[in-house]
Amino acid sequence: MYARALEDAETRLVNLHHDEVERVAVSALALGGSLVATVVYTPFVIPLFLGGLALGILGIGAIWRHWDLLDRLADDGDAYGIPAVRAYAARDARMDRRLGNAACIRSWLAGPLPPADARIADHADMLEELACELEDDELDLDPACAIACRRLLTEPEVSPLLNNALPCDDLGSWIVRIRSGFRRRSV
């Protein structure tokens, strides 16, 4: 990603965050005002309530657009220079999320595998090693690799583990890429 594109993305993230805060705050004020108007001046109740509701919906839209942009930027290594993107990805590298991912892998490996789950059976050893590394609290996981792990386990449109239309060979390379993000924790 070019430096100018990174600056534009960071500016857009900041603007979307401001939109979130402003719209949700004004929505809360308008809804609160509609409650007060029920006692003070009833003709203001409906306009304040509808205005608060509309701003709340716009605030939810801003929250969604902010999250979507963060999620898309998390796939670009250059975008990790943006603090919000780095913080977003770091959440997936936390131990609680890693343990959840490991539990998901282990549940697939422990269950009886129907013929459609040949991908899991073919890569069972690699998946088991990944689960062990995810559970190891002596290892840190690079945030970009943590995002790749989440996508592998939860997003059928991009995951060669969950999408049979994608080549099975891609699954091994995804696992290798995720495992390359583990580093021994420095003391």
Based on the domain organization, do 72 and 115 belong to the same domain?
Answer: no
Based on the domain organization, do 65 and 97 belong to the same domain?
Answer: no
Based on the domain organization, do 109 and 173 belong to the same domain?
Answer: yes
Based on the domain organization, do 109 and 129 belong to the same domain?
Answer: yes
Lowest mean pLDDT, pick from 2-11, 21-30, 41-50, 151-160: 2-11
Q: Are 7 and 81 in contact (CB under 8 A)?
A: no
- Token pair 């890569």 is at which residue? 123
Based on the domain organization, do 21 and 63 belong to the same domain?
Answer: yes
What single string gives the DSSP state of each residue in 14-29?
Answer: HHHHHHHHHHHHHHHH
Q: Is the pLDDT of residue 114 over 80?
A: no
Handedness of CA 96, 97, 101, 104 (dihedral sign): positive
Final residue belonging to a domain, choices 71, 88, 105: 88
Based on the domain organization, do 99 and 177 belong to the same domain?
Answer: yes
Final residue belonging to a domain, choices 42, 63, 88: 88
Q: Dump pLDDT digits (tens) for 17-49.
A: 999 999 999 999 999 999 999 999 999 999 999
**How many domains would you assign to the chain?**
2
Per DSSP, 168 falls in state: T
Based on the domain organization, do 121 and 64 belong to the same domain?
Answer: no
Query: Sorting pLDDT into bands at 50, 70 and 90, what band is 1?
Result: low
Final residue belonging to a domain, choices 88, 110, 126: 88
Average pLDDT, the chain: 91
How far apart CA 25 and CA 56 sit, in angstroms, is 9
Entry pTM: 0.80
Based on the domain organization, do 83 and 99 belong to the same domain?
Answer: no
Cα of 58 vs its chain's centroid, Å:
21
Based on the domain organization, do 162 and 176 belong to the same domain?
Answer: yes
Q: Dump pLDDT digits (tens) for 44-92.
A: 999 999 999 999 999 999 999 999 999 999 988 889 989 999 999 999 9
Q: Is the pLDDT of residue 115 over 50?
A: no
Domain of 157, in residue numbers: 93-184
Q: How many CB atoms lie within 10 A of CB 186?
A: 5
Instruction: Pick the closest to residue 84 from 97, 93, 71 (CA basis).
Output: 71
Residue 175: the pLDDT is: 95
Based on the domain organization, do 110 and 179 belong to the same domain?
Answer: yes
Across the chain, where does the E strand assignment appear? Answer: 139-141, 182-184
CA distance from start to end of the chain: 34
Residue 118: the pLDDT is: 76
